[in-house]
Structure 1
């Protein structure tokens, strides 16, 4: 039996799938940045997670930051797009301003702290620290790729 598959169906089948995540680079008026220590692996990161199908990116950022930290935010501009080429995850990072709430941990975070930029570089791997530092420089949105551990230089 001969099966016919349209070009678009063939392309869809061979097109790599990506996951989209969102994160908040939450900056206080004093310049400190909101960070979490993940409960599952102990690494320091900015709050964020997988964008739900029905969510706008800004809604996803507000939800993820609140779930992981207890902090309410206003979402401002997109500051960067970061692709993990090993996992096929594309992360959209938005600069945010805290508007209320009380810092608390969650099932996903074992610590929630406001860090200085120096503390960010000391505690986080470069692929997460750069996301917060990029949000501070005002030169975005930045587009960067990494392998999960190290940044991949732009070509």
Structure 2
């Protein structure tokens, strides 16, 4: 019997305000800036998972608008589904401690601050009309063009 490959599924949200600024977190575990998100739980839909992750990490409730991309970390076997979201309501201070910092950044600030594998998730969400499919090594995109 052949072993079935094991993958982890995560969800993330690119949350944009009316002024165009985008919600980002500085992760407590590695200090990197990323869109808020995390592992999808077995009993969750994609939309429920992304809403939960954003609320846990930032205290901000969101409306999930649309899928913007699917990204695979080839090194770690993580498949991430990224959604465009908009904030609703008033932020709470009740977070889970996974974020060291929370900020609202411009797209330019994000491309200067995030690693390419995460910055592309944001740029895809705000510039592309159809979901993108990309692979990366945890930091850099991997060219998926067949040779």
- Report the TM-score, using the length of structure 2 for normalisation: 0.94
1:121-140 equivalences under 5 Å are 121-140=111-130
Could you say what the CA RMSD is over the residues aligned between the two structures, in angstroms?
Answer: 1.2
- Give structure 1 stretches of 5+ with no counterpart: 1-9
- Partner deviation per Cα, 1:7-54 (whole Å, 9 max, x = no partner): xxx2xx422110000000101111110000011111100000000000
After TM superposition, give the deviation of residue 103 of structure 1 in Å. Answer: 6.2
Larger helix percent: 1
Which structure 1 residue ranges, 4+ long, deviate > 3 Å from structure 2? 103-106
Q: Give the Cα separation in 2 of the matches to 1:55 and 1:82.
A: 19
Q: Hey, what does 1:147 align to over in structure 2?
A: 137
Are 1:14 and 2:14 an aligned pair? no
Q: Hey, what does 2:78 align to over in structure 1?
A: 89
Q: Hey, what does 2:48 align to over in structure 1?
A: 59
Distance 1:151-1:103 versus aligned 2 partners, 3 A rule = farther
Give the number of aligned pairs.
144
Q: Hey, what does 1:120 align to over in structure 2?
A: 110
Q: Which has the larger radius of gyration?
A: 1
- Report the TM-score, using the length of structure 1 for normalisation: 0.89
